[in-house]
Structure 1
Amino acid sequence: MTIEKFSEISQPFKVILLDSYGVLRNHDGLIPGVVECVNRLRAEGKHLRVLTNNAARSPAAAAKNLKKYGLRGIPAAEIITSGATTRHFLQYKIRTGKVVYLGTPQSAEYIIGAGLEAVHISEVDLDDLTDIKAVAFLDDEGYDKNVDVNHVINLLRHCQVPVVVANTDLLYPVSKDNVALATGSVARLVEYVLGRRFIQFGKPASQMFQFAFESLLRDFPDLTHADVLMVGDTLHTDILGGNTFGVSTALVLSGNTRAERAETEISSSGIIPDFIIQSIGA
């Protein structure tokens, strides 16, 4: 396994797509060297987009959060969240009615922003499912993973509506060595129990990549997939998504994928990044 320097592999690319957690920051805060790296990329004329599966925050809130950690060089316009792609679907596909959600009140802003009524799963009366038009798995927190998951299973047994999963991540880090179940895992459990397939947003689905690409095409109409590098810390989301979309990919070892396991995970998954780097700040 060859580990390369990000400053060298990034040179040929006009656009760098960055995952947030594990690439820009982790449980300790900003990853060392990230601010200097972002400044260097700007100085080289690179164009940046942050693609995050975190549906708990709006792009503006995500930018504010990065600024709080010390990274001031990423404006909201350059952040694409899985919640934003979910909102786009709800706005143009569902249009009216109630959307039941699993998540925090903050994550429900994506539903409200689509002009729909957001109803937390705990508030649903299973004897009155009138005007429920969709169900959305939005965030890792804000609901009881026992009571509310049982509630949503029973709701979906009686109510045939579209189900969207804004955050497809299976796990999220809670410390250096420990993880917790993320929304994607809960949604998969419910899919399995009901024998259904839900509509997935967030990486590795293509919508976020397409959103990023289209946002760049407005200013750079000659941009091609060959001009783009996706940098992420997770094989099954960042790297698989980038590979499927047809852009180059770089796996960082500063997040979910640990250096001692990287070669085995790549071999067993069959998801092969074009590059492996220690971090973007190394």
Structure 2
Amino acid sequence: MTNAPSVPEIKAQELLDQYDCLLIDAYGVLIHRDGPIQHAAAFIDALNAQNKPYVILTNDASRSAQSASDNLKSKGFSIEPEHVITSGSLVVPYFQENNLQGAKCYVFGPQKSHDLVTQAGGIVIDPKEDDEVDVVIAMDDAGFDFLTMIEDVLSAVFRRLDAGHKVQFLVPNPDLIYQKNEREVGLTAGSIALIIEEALHVRYYDEAPTFLKLGKPHHYIYEQALKKTKTRNMAMIGDQIRTDILGANKFGIASILVATGLTQLRSGHVPEEQRPDFLLHSLAL
């Protein structure tokens, strides 16, 4: 265990000087739900002006790269889709790699999440109307009646598994909570997956299936970033030690914790694997 205050500080300009590419989280680093974080838009403008390679690496599973780009542009950021990897967009290569085209899917999330699964080749079905599910995908926390959807999916999945069929479980965004604004937090799809996993464990004990996680801190999203950037001299700038920082450390790249988001390392101890390489108090250049 390592004492958090011993983490060294770094300035935004030093990041540009030291690393070939920057991986940047969106929520808590660039934006809150209420809008842009101070200095964030100017930081992105500087990256663009210097032709500095960067990727917005976000666990937002409700958006494609194009949709995320459009959303960020609406908030004042000049970020093109080629600079974005969302955890939701990872469903497409995952379905291709695992021959899941044509799989019947229960999808937690709004219509945009359904569209991503359809783009990947999945067939979105209603748990009230069709028990023959192949894949359960927790994409997002919005766009459905929370309790009703969880109960309907669990009931249908229990019937499917009890009949001897296999069901895969997928969560692109394994985050449990996120920063809505300076005063509020919200639940994310990772919390939905956690509820379902606990229910499956109650019924099936050690034989209970679990969710495969695609987003940070797991390797799959970092591997996609590496394919895009073609360099390991990258730094991940994020606001959560359990996703952004842990993922970067496990993947072997620099980890930078910002002070504008969810995790505040004011006191106490942090496990070594979750310890950031640097603390960044502001994106101001």
Q: Is the 8 A contact 1:239 1:271 kept in 2?
A: yes
Match of 2:216 among 180, 192, 203: 203
Structure 1 length normalisation: TM-score? 0.88
Deviations 1:59-91 (A, max 9, x none): 11111111111111x110110010111222123
Q: Is the 8 A contact 2:138 2:172 kept in 1?
A: yes
Identify the residue that residue 94 of structure 2 maps to in structure 1. Answer: 89
Q: Secondary structure at the match of 2:19?
A: coil
Q: Secondary structure at the match of 1:169?
A: coil
Deviation at 1:162, TM superposition (A): 0.4
Q: Secondary structure at the match of 1:88?
A: helix
Identify the residue that residue 137 of structure 1 maps to in structure 2. Answer: 138
Match of 2:85 among 32, 57, 80: 80
Deviation at 1:113, TM superposition (A): 0.4
Identify the residue that residue 69 of structure 1 maps to in structure 2. Answer: 75
Match of 1:161 among 162, 167, 177: 167
2:14 aligned with 1:8, yes or no?
yes
Q: Is the 8 A contact 1:27 1:176 kept in 2?
A: no
Identify the residue that residue 35 of structure 1 maps to in structure 2. Answer: 41
2:238 aligned with 1:240, yes or no?
no
Q: Is the 8 A contact 1:14 1:45 kept in 2?
A: no
Q: Unaligned regions of 5+ residues in structure 2, if any?
A: 161-165, 202-208
For the structure 1 residues 33 and 125, does the alpha-carbon distance in structure 2 shift closer, same or farther, using more than 3 Å as the test? closer
Structure 2 length normalisation: TM-score? 0.87
Q: Secondary structure at the match of 2:193?
A: helix
2:181 aligned with 1:175, yes or no?
yes
* Bigger shift: residues 24-33 or 247-256: 24-33
Runs of 4+ in 1 over 4 A off after TM superposition: none
For the structure 1 residues 248 and 266, does the alpha-carbon distance in structure 2 shift closer, same or farther, using more than 3 Å as the test? farther
Deviation at 1:265, TM superposition (A): 6.1
Deviation at 1:266, TM superposition (A): 5.2
Deviations 1:211-270 (A, max 9, x none): 0110122xxxxx3x2x11110001101001111110001000111123xxx143652685
For the structure 1 residues 265 and 25, does the alpha-carbon distance in structure 2 shift closer, same or farther, using more than 3 Å as the test? farther
Identify the residue that residue 213 of structure 1 maps to in structure 2. Answer: 226
For the structure 1 residues 26 and 157, does the alpha-carbon distance in structure 2 shift closer, same or farther, using more than 3 Å as the test? same
2:274 aligned with 1:281, yes or no?
no
The alignment yields a C-alpha RMSD, in angstroms, of: 1.9
Q: Aligned residues: percent identity?
A: 30
Identify the residue that residue 116 of structure 2 maps to in structure 1. Answer: 110
For the structure 1 residues 110 and 6, does the alpha-carbon distance in structure 2 shift closer, same or farther, using more than 3 Å as the test? same
For the structure 1 residues 184 and 269, does the alpha-carbon distance in structure 2 shift closer, same or farther, using more than 3 Å as the test? farther
Give the partner amino acid of 2:95.
L
2:61 aligned with 1:55, yes or no?
yes
Distance of 1:168 and 1:183 partners within structure 2? 7
Deviations 1:90-136 (A, max 9, x none): 233212232111111111111110122112xxx3237x423x22111
2:123 aligned with 1:147, yes or no?
no
Distance of 1:50 and 1:266 partners within structure 2? 29
Give the partner amino acid of 2:89.
A
Equivalent pairs, count: 266
Identify the residue that residue 220 of structure 1 maps to in structure 2. Answer: none
Deviation at 1:174, TM superposition (A): 3.1
Deviation at 1:38, TM superposition (A): 2.0
For the structure 1 residues 175 and 43, does the alpha-carbon distance in structure 2 shift closer, same or farther, using more than 3 Å as the test? closer
Distance of 1:265 and 1:27 partners within structure 2? 28
Q: Secondary structure at the match of 1:172?
A: strand
